[in-house]
Amino acid sequence: MMNFKQFWTKKTLVGLGLGQFLSLLITSTGFSSSELAKKGINAPTSQSFLNYVLLTVVYGSVMLYRRQALKAKWYYYVVLGLVDVEANYLVVKAYQYTSITSVMLLDCWSIPSVMLLTYIFLKTKYRFRKVAGVIVCVAGLVVVVFSDVHAGDRSGGSNPRKGDLLVIAGATLYAISNVSEEFLVKNADRVELMSFLGLFGAIISAIQISIVERNELKSIHWTAGAAFPFFGFSLAMFLFYSFVPVLLKMTGSTMLNLSLLTSDMWAVVIRIFAYHEKVDWMYFLAFFAVTVGLIIYSGGDKDQDQSRADVADEGAERSKRVDEEAGFNNLSRATMAGSSKMGDTSRHDLTASLDGREIMENKNGKDVQGKKS
């Protein structure tokens, strides 16, 4: 039975705080994209391109300064860059065809996808407590969806089926990207991951921009009102990508996706205090549910760490016991071998002394005969 003190571990508090910081960054990118859309700018790949360039310049410089050999194959980063770029593109593109409510609901597909992928490839074990935390978080988001329906904010979109498929595909790619990053950050290096994700992400984005968004970029009239949200989006994404590996290494990709569920709730808070809008009371219930779910999910980490420590201690004790038994056996063999060797030496010395006595007796006999003659 978990007691309340187990929630207040340093790892839990840092994980929850960092998760909400990342959620706020995602919220800020959403508002930046909204401002750009109001100005008629629809270039999601171009917005992400600057983020990848910043990652390459900052982390690539650190990597060149270190001059260390690669800890992972370079083509892993090519695949990761492709998956990450297309995940961002598909989800943003889905807003043109389906409702915000549908995107919010279907984007949750990334959570079970992450759990399945980590279970298969990273051998992550999920206890009932963690599954319960996920269920509570998703239930909170479903409350938000029903709140939107209740408030009459839902719009069908021009092609809901196409939009829904785009969201599911994008959420699946997000899951693959997050699990891959978790594997690489735990088995390779964070700076190396960010450097090559930025490099190949920038290359793939540049190719995609030249094919898909070339005309859109030409039509943009760059003013301060357009440039500020554009660069603000890139800066927020850079910070998001920089801190994601830290959370992945601490708590895993499932906790990351659960933390990002609160981005919609933070958007509501901003709407209330910055734009003085009224929202449905169900939003507050949803925010509370997601917060409780995150605490339930992250609160089990100490138990898992303790069980791992117990297993490690048990393994060490067993190894020590085996070593002691092996040492005792070796000592017994050495004693027996030593006794055998001492016995052989004694027999050899006895034989040598007998032979020496016989030689002396023969010599004395010869001397006596010589005197008699």
Q: Which of 52, 59, 50, 49 is nearest to 195 (CA)?
A: 59
Structural Rg of the chain based on CA atoms: 35
What pLDDT is attached to residue 47?
85
What pLDDT is attached to residue 104?
66
Tens place of pLDDT per residue across the chain (373 aa): 445 555 567 777 888 899 999 989 988 887 787 788 778 787 889 888 999 999 999 999 999 999 989 999 999 999 999 999 999 888 878 877 776 666 766 777 888 889 889 989 888 888 888 888 888 888 877 776 666 555 554 445 677 788 888 888 999 999 999 999 999 998 889 999 999 999 999 999 999 999 988 888 888 888 888 889 889 999 999 999 999 999 998 888 888 888 887 777 787 777 777 767 676 677 777 778 887 887 788 765 544 444 444 434 444 455 455 444 545 454 444 444 444 444 444 444 434 444 544 444 444 444 434 444 3
Q: Count CB neighbours of 199 within 10 A.
A: 22
Please identify which residue in the block is written with the tokens 């785009």.
166
Distance CA 32, CA 229 (A): 5
What pLDDT is attached to residue 245?
93
What pLDDT is attached to residue 143?
73
What pLDDT is attached to residue 101?
60
Distance CA 314, CA 311 (A): 5
Q: Count CB neighbours of 156 within 10 A.
A: 12
Distance CA 230, CA 217 (A): 12
What are the CA-CA distances from residue 137 to residues 22, 115, 213, 294 (Å)? 17, 14, 36, 7
Helix axes 110-121, 128-151, angle to 10 degrees: 160
